[in-house]
Amino acid sequence: MMGGFGSLKAMNDTIKQNREMLKAGKKGAFEKSALRAKVSENLLNNDKKLSEQERIKHIQAIWDSNRKDDIKRIIVLIISSGIAGFLVWLFLLVFKFRV
């Protein structure tokens, strides 16, 4: 009587399925992937193309927004680091006198 109860067969079948899926997913060295977006797919049907000035203004607005977000992140990092440092100092101060 065998004690595997089909687990070895299931393992073997899974390995075969994985091997077949890997073979199916291989692409040629110069074959383009379907995951890459084409320029024409980025525009919606009713979108107008931006002029050069509008595009520059839009990019600058994005840069300004990113700069503001970066400043907020840095401020939060400094504040949280200060609070963590204070708590560590307080912890060491309290347990220094108990020992």
The whole-number mean pLDDT for each consecutive block of 10 residues of the chain, a chain of 99 residues, reads 70 88 67 58 64 90 95 97 96 80
CA dihedral 63, 64, 70, 76 (to 10 degrees): -160
pLDDT for res 99: 56
pLDDT for res 66: 95
Element spanning 96, H or E: helix 52-98
- Find out whether 86 and 78 touch, Cβ atoms under 8 Å: no
pLDDT for res 68: 96
pLDDT for res 9: 85
* Model pTM score: 0.46
pLDDT for res 1: 44
- Find out whether 33 and 27 touch, Cβ atoms under 8 Å: yes
